[in-house]
Amino acid sequence: MSNNNKKELNKVGASGQTKDSPIASDSTTEQRQPSQPSSQPSPPPSSQPKQSPANPSQPPATTAASATGAGSKANTISQPAKTQPEPPAFEKGLVDQIKNKFGDTVKVLFIKPLRIKIQVDPQDIVGVANFLRDSLGFDHAESVAGTDYPKDNQIEVIYHLGSYTRQELASHILWLTTRTNRDDARLPTLINVYKSVEYHERECYEMLGVYFEGHPRNERFLLPEDWADIPPLRKEFKIKGR
């Protein structure tokens, strides 16, 4: 072994490491620069267990909105059906008297506070009107109106009856109605029961074309004498030029 090699080995043995050794350089760096803790600490483990979205056995969580919707739906289903209110006792008593007299001849359309509506066939209207006047106290006709129902091929005539003689009927109106065929609109007149219907029935005659049998004056008093069109209150009437 050469003297140079012996000197080199002695240097290594004395210091335990060479100056140019990469191992010595790394160990020295590690001693001079100790490891620093990270500035961003790792998050703590979650206390809630993770739920796998692919797990079909685990049902999805119910939200507050869905729970509220389900509750309202259940409440809607459980609500009972609305019932019709009981008719007023006084008005029902009047209707009971009419039904006891005429039975199924009279059809009751509604009973409300201060209002009653009944319907009869044309051949029965005079007899029912006489009973309403003489037995119940509906002693005058306040007005007469008509409504056209083309889909039913009918015209309805409505008599609004009131009372001057019975104080308890002062605010009541009884609607006495009947219907006739549009193609041959004819009804018995009530002029012999209620004198006040004279002009009202004439108006229904010229505006709707309903002829009142027994009325002394089925003639115009609102339209021109040379009126040649259909009655203007029928649904198919149209103003010319519009």
Residue 18: CA count within 13 A, CB half-sphere: 7
DSSP state of 129: H
Helix axes 125-134, 89-102, angle to 10 degrees: 130
What is the C-alpha to C-alpha distance for residues 141 and 193, in angstroms, rounded to an integer?
9
Whole-number Å distance between alpha carbons of 121 and 103: 13
Closest CA to 186 of 225, 157, 158, 159: 157
Which residue type does 184 have? Answer: D
- Cα(189)–Cα(217) distance, rounded to whole angstroms? 11
Beta strands in the chain (DSSP E): 107-112, 115-119, 140-149, 154-162, 173-181, 186-188, 211-213
| CA–CA distance, 46 with 29 (Å, rounded to integer) | 38
pLDDT of 30 reads 44
Question: Smallest Cα–Cα separation from 187: which of 154, 161, 220, 163?
Answer: 154
Q: What element of type H or E holds 100?
A: helix 89-102
What pairs with residue 176 in β-bridges?
Answer: 118, 159
Closest-CA residue to 139 (of 102, 180, 172, 114): 172
Please report the pLDDT score of residue 58 as a whole number. 55
User: What are 160-166's contacts with CB under 8 Å, separation 24+?
Assistant: 161/129, 161/132, 161/194, 162/138, 163/137, 163/138, 163/139, 164/139, 164/140, 165/137, 165/139, 166/137
Looking at the DSSP bridge assignments, the partners of residue 141 are: 161
Domains and CATH numbers, the chain: 89-184 (3.30.460.80)
CA 197/CA 190 separation, integer angstroms = 7
Residue 85 has a pLDDT of 81
Sign (positive or negative) of CA dihedral 176, 177, 178, 183: positive
The pLDDT, as a whole number, for residue 22 is: 44
CA pair distance 192, 182, nearest whole angstrom? 24
Torsion angle, CA of 131/135/141/142, rounded to 10 degrees?
-140
Would you state the pLDDT for residue 240? 73
Per-residue pLDDT of the chain (242 residues; tens, 9 = 90+): 555 555 554 554 544 444 444 444 444 444 444 445 445 555 555 555 555 555 545 555 555 555 555 555 555 566 666 677 889 999 999 999 999 999 999 999 999 999 999 999 999 999 999 999 999 999 999 999 999 999 999 999 999 999 999 999 999 999 999 999 999 999 999 999 999 999 999 999 999 999 999 999 998 889 998 888 899 999 999 877 65
